[in-house]
Amino acid sequence: MTRVSKPAVEENRAKRREREDASRDAARNGEPGIATESGVADPWERVSQVSLIGLFVIALLWCAYVAQPVIVPVLLAWVIATIVLPLVKWIEDRGVPRVLAVVAVAMLLVAIIVSLLVLLSTPVAYWLGRATEIGALIKQKLQTISQPLALLEELRKAVNVIGAGEPTLKVEQQSATVVATILSILTPAVSQFILFIGALVFYLIYQDRLRSAVVFLLRDRDARLATLRTLSEIDTNMTTYFGAFTIVNVGLGVVTVALTWAVGLPNPLLWGVLAGVLNYVPYIGPAIVVATLGVVGLLTYNTLGEAFVAPLIFVGIVTVEGQFLTPTLMGHRLELNPFAVFLAIAFCTWLWGPLGAFLAVPLLMALAVTLGHAFAEEKRELPE
């Protein structure tokens, strides 16, 4: 039996203590230390950390999905606040108290929204009333290209023959059910609009106090300064982006009204407002406007050539706006990765619906600014 001398045992213990002390010192200095006696990090500990972070992210997304009626109006109020904040400051610089300036801007915003709803209620009701006719009219207009769909029609008939012997379910919708459905749609919409206006007003009034409260939650002075710089840059970028983009979209709406009026489409104001609002959602918004103009053209004109004049011209206008006008106004400092923008829109639309698509770009911009400040000191030049 091999015996180990006492001095050797003490020497091994001393070396072990030195390795542990070196590992703790390296951890304090932010350097990679020795996790185990063999110098290899424990893989299970790393897996447990990643799993814990993953569970936290899943729980956070679930909370964001469940709390959509509260989170979405508040985030929308924050985005709109960045647009109207320069107007509030301009009024405040003229000697008007901030509370009165905020209330005046909020009332002006509500008046604009209500006026648009009143002006567009008639054409919207007209097109909604024709919803049952649209399918038949489009099918009639597209008879020239309906031959390739003959196979699908035969398949549809075969499926109908197969399911002919099965009992059908008849649904009779009563008037009380219709009223309940309308109330179930209007009640959440009105409550969320009230929440949006309240959040907008309070954020514009107490913006500085909210920022100070967030900053003073941190104890370290450097962390406070870094957080303050991050919040200031987010507000600046949001104001620049949405301020310039709002001007561009108003111009796009005016051009769309003139285009649809010139080609003879009905209700040009409706299509102009639709183009200006949906252009806030990159890629998806202009595509919806092009499809809508195409459908309206098919319902208005007798030939496909006349029907596709407005959509083709609108595609050219949007291309010039997206590739030249908007980048020139905003500068390269606010450029975002197009693929990241597309993924953000897809994810936020899945999470929060149409309003999520509108909120995708500002949330991505805020995340990009935050990560840029958080990892500013760790950036390195990549080899070519």
What does the pLDDT look like over 214-258, one tens digit per residue?
Answer: 778 777 788 788 888 888 888 888 888 888 888 889 999 999 999
**67 has pLDDT over 80:** yes
pTM of the predicted model over 0.75: no
Please choose, from the candidates 324, 252, 320, the residue with its C-alpha nearest in 3D space to the C-alpha of residue 289.
252
Residue 169 has pLDDT above 60, yes or no: no
Gap between the Cα atoms of 179 and 184, Å rounded? 9
Q: Specify the amino acid at residue 136.
A: A
Q: What is the pLDDT of residue 162?
A: 45
- Residues of the chain with pLDDT > 70: what percent? 70
Question: Among 292, 288, 270, 268, which Cα is nearest to 280's?
Answer: 288
CA atoms within 13 A on the CB side of 65: 10
Domain boundaries, the chain: 64-129+189-205, 220-377
Chain length of the chain: 384
Name the 3-class secondary structure at 215: helix
Rg of the chain over Cα atoms, rounded to whole angstroms, equals 30
CA distance 365 to 371: 10
pLDDT at 255: 93
Average pLDDT, the chain: 76
Structure tokens of 11?
């020497």
Q: Which residue has the tokens 């905003």?
A: 330
If you average pLDDT over residues 352-381, what whole number do you get? Answer: 79
pLDDT greater than 70 at residue 41: no
- Pick left, alpha or beta for residue 39 (phi over 0 → left; psi -120 to 50 → alpha; otherwise beta): left
Confidence of residue 139 (pLDDT cuts 50, 70, 90): low
- Asked if 314 and 259 count as a contact pair (C-beta separation under 8 A), the reply is yes
Sorting pLDDT into bands at 50, 70 and 90, what band is 374?
confident
Answer yes or no: is pLDDT of 149 > 60: no
Dihedral, 301, 282, 352, 208 alpha carbons, nearest 10: -130
- Confidence check: pLDDT of 305 > 70: yes
CA distance linking residue 236 with residue 216, whole number of Å:
21
CB 128 within 8 A of CB 278: no
CA-to-CA distance for 234 and 207, rounded, in angstroms?
Answer: 13
Please report which confidence band the pLDDT of residue 107 belongs to, taking 50, 70 and 90 as the band edges.
Answer: very high
Please tell me the predicted confidence (pLDDT) of residue 261.
92
* Contacts for 146 with CB less than 8 Å, ≥ 6 apart: 139
- The answer on pLDDT for 63 being more than 80 is yes
Nearest to 292 by CA among 278, 280, 306: 278
Strand runs labelled E in 195-322: none
Contact 253, 276 (CB under 8 A): yes
* pLDDT, position 300: 81
pLDDT tens for each residue of 74-99: 999 998 888 888 889 889 888 889 99
The residue ranking higher by pLDDT, 384 or 112, is 112
